[in-house]
């Protein structure tokens, strides 16, 4: 059973377009993290959201945590080829365990 | 920032041999480290939680006798894949937990180890 449903799993867009990635669960998480991973490397933490309804911005990336702390979204404005990569959401469970979504493979074409 | 290293970055071995992968937290102490496995085009799957000075806790479906974990110090955890077989070929990633300045736990990931079993 996948506790975190991430969508879409694949996304190919043109440079300059906007996109949103969704991460949904029926479970409540104490916090939720977003990572970006490039091929052959480990995931790199982008942001941690903790409070329900919280919105965090990181340059062209906007992260939102749902009011009930069950879902989150990542919105990228004016995507660039450098944004290409695997985006992963992960919810924090008891004992410090991270439960990962399936990931979103983003390709931004110039 | 918190840095986690892994060694080796890639390894090729023959079927039936054992392979040890090291995970080190370079600039902080980590009482807890986690080991993940990632197959191509897939997400990370947690294999086990490694606690310094105690036995590792394995996720359901992960064979503890096959994937031996030793967390001997606050900066080092090792994963040994015993009697490796081709189906064990994967990307193995560790993470170390650090209590961030914001007050909640953050995990920092190593660069991963690509294991290929022939």
pLDDT along chain B (118 residues), means of 10: 91 97 92 92 92 89 94 92 96 85 71 97
A92 interfaces chain B, CB cutoff of 8 Å: yes
Q: Does A94 or A23 have the greater pLDDT score?
A: A23
- The predicted pLDDT at position A79 comes to 97
The pair of three-digit structure tokens given for residue A36, joined into one six-digit string: 């970006």
CB contact under 8 A, A96 and B95: no
B45 interfaces chain A, CB cutoff of 8 Å: yes
Alpha-carbon Rg for chain B in angstroms: 14
CB contact under 8 A, B107 and A41: no
Mean pLDDT of all residues in A34-59 = 94
- The predicted pLDDT at position B41 comes to 82
Mean pLDDT of all residues in A46-53 = 93
- The predicted pLDDT at position B2 comes to 81
- The predicted pLDDT at position A2 comes to 56
pLDDT band at A109 (very low <50, low <70, confident <90, very high): very high
Question: Are the C-beta atoms of A42 and B111 separated by less than 8 Å?
Answer: yes
Which residue among A31, A41, A90 sits closest to B104, beta carbon to beta carbon? A31
CB contact under 8 A, B114 and A40: yes
Question: Are the C-beta atoms of A49 and A57 separated by less than 8 Å?
Answer: no
Distance (Å, rounded) from C-alpha A103 to C-alpha B36? 15
- The predicted pLDDT at position A3 comes to 79
Question: Are the C-beta atoms of B86 and A12 separated by less than 8 Å?
Answer: no
Mean pLDDT, rounded, of chain A: 93
Q: Is residue A25's pLDDT more than 90?
A: yes
């Amino acid at each position: 059973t996948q506790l975190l449903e991430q969508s879409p799993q694949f996304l190919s867009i043109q440079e300059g377009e906007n996109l949103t990635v969704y991460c949904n669960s029926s479970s409540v998480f104490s916090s939720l993290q977003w990572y970006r991973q490039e091929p052959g490397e480990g995931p790199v933490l982008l942001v941690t959201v903790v409070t329900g309804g919280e919105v965090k911005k990181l340059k062209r990336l906007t992260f939102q945590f749902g009011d009930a702390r069950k879902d989150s979204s990542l919105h990228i404005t004016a995507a660039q080829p450098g944004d290409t990569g695997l985006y992963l959401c992960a919810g924090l469970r008891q004992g410090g365990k991270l439960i990962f979504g399936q990931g979103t493979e983003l390709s931004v074409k110039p | 920032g918190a840095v986690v290293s892994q060694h080796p970055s890639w390894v090729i071995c023959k079927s039936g041999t054992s392979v040890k992968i090291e995970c080190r937290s370079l600039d902080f102490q980590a009482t807890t480290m986690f080991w993940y496995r990632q197959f191509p085009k897939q997400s990370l799957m947690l294999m086990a939680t490694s606690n310094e000075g105690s036995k590792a806790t394995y996720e359901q479906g992960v064979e503890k006798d096959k994937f031996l974990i030793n967390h001997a110090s606050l900066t080092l955890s090792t994963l040994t894949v015993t009697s490796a077989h081709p189906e064990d070929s994967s990307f193995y990633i560790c993470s170390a937990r650090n209590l961030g300045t914001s007050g909640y736990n953050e995990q920092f990931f190593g660069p991963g180890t690509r294991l290929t079993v022939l």
